[in-house]
Structure 1
Amino acid sequence: MLRSAPVLLALWGLAVLPAQAQETSVKLSPRFARSVQAAAGATPATADCQSEEWERQDKRLNAAYRQLLSQLPPGKAAELRAVQRAWLAYVGPKCAFLFDSDTYSGQQDRLNAQYCEVLERARRAAELEDLDPAKR
């Protein structure tokens, strides 16, 4: 039984690697990494870094959406519009769930919710960029 423990641990390690790889594969700007490092853990500075990155990722998302929309036939373009509206309706409440002023009021909760918005925009932008037939 004890001999199988290392094998089980190794298998468990392999199982969690894909989730970790996904998280690290989110494409955020180099400017964001530098900004967060310079903020050195100060909450207001970190929040500013995240706001700036949100703007960058939102622009990237909108550009990817417009580009993909321009490449699709009318029927698929209508589907994309519906999917994008559904995504927008979902992502705000999803990230807001991380910060609820009635239950959680800590600054870290605010940062977590804000960072969620940044990551979700980056992920969605990457999804749309990957779907663009012009880039295949």
Structure 2
Amino acid sequence: MRLLLILVLLLAALPARADDEYDACLNDADASMQDMGACGAEWIDREDARLNEMWQALLDELPEASEEMLREEQRAWLAYRDKTCLFYLDAVEYGQVGRYLSYPSCRAFVIAQRTEALGEIRESVAPI
């Protein structure tokens, strides 16, 4: 019963950060954690695709002399991304809810933040 209450509370908190496809996927999931985890993996993949599109758009507009600095920054961010949200995978503390709901939500949010930051860089360097 406690797990169900936690799940309901967590799902109620997710839509503010989730995308519509993730919400629809969760609604269609058969309430198994694995299905919900698959929804999260798809959300992460969508955010990665958005990030990659923004990255390429930024590189297309960035002066060539600045590309290496941006690449170094991106490598540092990738290391950060790979370390974030891992505490949700601690089965003792967070169990299946952490692994299948909290971790994907956290990871997708971190990627979305980077996409937004790259978009802001792009706006600042775009030709007028």
What TM-score does the superposition give when structure 2 sets the normalisation length? 0.72
Measure, in 1, the Cα distance between the counterparts of 2:20 and 2:90.
30
Confirm or deny that 1:131 pairs with 2:121: yes
Confirm or deny that 1:72 pairs with 2:62: yes
Aligned-residue Cα RMSD (Å) equals 2.6
Asked if the contact 1:32–1:53 (Cα under 8 Å) also holds between the matched residues in 2, the reply is: yes
Asked if the contact 1:129–1:135 (Cα under 8 Å) also holds between the matched residues in 2, the reply is: no
Cα deviation, residue 77, structure 1: 1.5
If you compute each CA radius of gyration, which structure gives the higher value, 1 or 2? 1
Higher helix share: 2
The percent identity for this pair of structures is: 29
In 2 relative to 1, CA 98–75 (structure 1 residues): closer, same or farther, beyond 3 Å? Answer: farther
- Counterpart residue number, 1:37: 27
| Correspondence 1:95-114 to 2 at 5 A | 95-100=85-90, 103-104=92-93, 106-111=95-100, 112-114=102-104
- Counterpart residue number, 1:94: 84
Aligned length: 111
| Correspondence 1:20-59 to 2 at 5 A | 24=16, 28-39=18-29, 41-59=31-49
In 2 relative to 1, CA 135–106 (structure 1 residues): closer, same or farther, beyond 3 Å? Answer: farther
Measure, in 1, the Cα distance between the counterparts of 2:127 and 2:41.
29
In 2 relative to 1, CA 125–135 (structure 1 residues): closer, same or farther, beyond 3 Å? Answer: farther
What TM-score does the superposition give when structure 1 sets the normalisation length? 0.68
Structure 1's consecutive aligned runs of 4 or more residues displaced over 4 angstroms after TM superposition are: none
